[in-house]
Amino acid sequence: MSLAIENVRKDIRMRAEADKMMSTAWLFIYIIPIVSIILTVFSIALGPAAFVPLMGLSWILIFVSFIVQIVLIYKLVKRRNTHFRRQSFLFEDVVNAIRDLAAKKGVDVQIPISSCERIIREAKAEETEKNAVLWAILSAIIFIASWYVYYFLMKDFYKHERREDGFWEDISRALAACGITMPLPRREAPIPDRSFILYLILTIITLGIFGVYWLYVLIKDPNEHFKYHIIVEDQLLRQLESV
């Protein structure tokens, strides 16, 4: 077993920590402020006896919502960073493994491998790390900052997936030149190029209700992206190990 293939295996093992699946239960963050408003209305309607305990509970919920918002943004940004970093390692090691394989078989894979290396350079230039702690705190303190976080989470994963599709196609061509067939599975749920302006306008005019769906896609899209990784990476490793 070559060192390059062993490195690919290590990169794939990192998947459990780097590519975290997130539950849609995080959507309940939008219910907390609604409950707080209801409690405030009830405290006023029920009079002085109920005002203090209900308002106290309302303020506790607001504080909980504040903390949960920080944790959620931190998790979303962190998994973006860890996945992009892991994939950078993986792609470089896959290229090295195929170079070794092509050299042993005496075949020329320079054209598809050069294309792969260009994709890796583009990814490193564009997929720079975002400070998860900083953006989590800013999003909780400055509301507009959360819109920017939603923007780069939505756009970065879309561009990332398009680059990745090109990479896997070139890898498939390089493997074919080495006599290895690796048909690429179809993505069940490719990330669409969603309009940030449209999502922002819909969130504003619906008084935040559309924001529930916006958060849903920010959780779901990477989850689906990671599922595709599992299929392709495991298939690739099997093919490399079989040589």
- pLDDT tens, position by position, 103-160: 888 889 999 999 999 999 999 999 999 999 999 999 988 888 999 999 999 999 999 9
Give the separation between CA 29 and CA 70, rounded to whole angstroms: 11
- Whether the predicted pLDDT of 223 surpasses 90: yes
Tell me the percentage of the chain whose pLDDT exceeds 70.
88
- pLDDT (0 to 100) of residue 195: 95
| Residue 199 pLDDT exceeds 70 | yes
Residues above pLDDT 90, as percent of the chain? 59
Mean pLDDT of the chain: 88
Distance separating alpha carbons of residues 240 and 229, to the nearest angstrom: 16
What pLDDT, on the 0 to 100 scale, is given for residue 51? Answer: 54
Q: How sure is the predictor about 88, in pLDDT bands with cuts at 50, 70 and 90?
A: very high
Taking the mean position of all CA atoms in its chain, how far away is CA 22? 10
CA distance 198 to 213: 13
At residue 173, the pLDDT reads 93
For residue 35, the model assigns a pLDDT of 66
pLDDT for residue 170:
94
The predicted structure's pLDDT at residue 68 = 86
Q: Provide CB contacts within 8 A for 21, sequence distance 6+.
A: 223, 226
Confidence band of 243 (pLDDT split at 50, 70, 90): confident
pLDDT of residue 215 exceeding 90, the answer is yes
Q: How far apart are CA 177 and CA 209, in angstroms?
A: 52
pTM comes to: 0.88
Mean pLDDT for 162-191 is: 91
Where residue 48 falls among pLDDT bands split at 50, 70, 90?
low
pLDDT for residue 224 is more than 90: yes
pLDDT band with cut points at 50, 70 and 90 for residue 60: confident
**Average pLDDT over every residue of 212-234:** 94
pLDDT band at 55 (very low <50, low <70, confident <90, very high): low
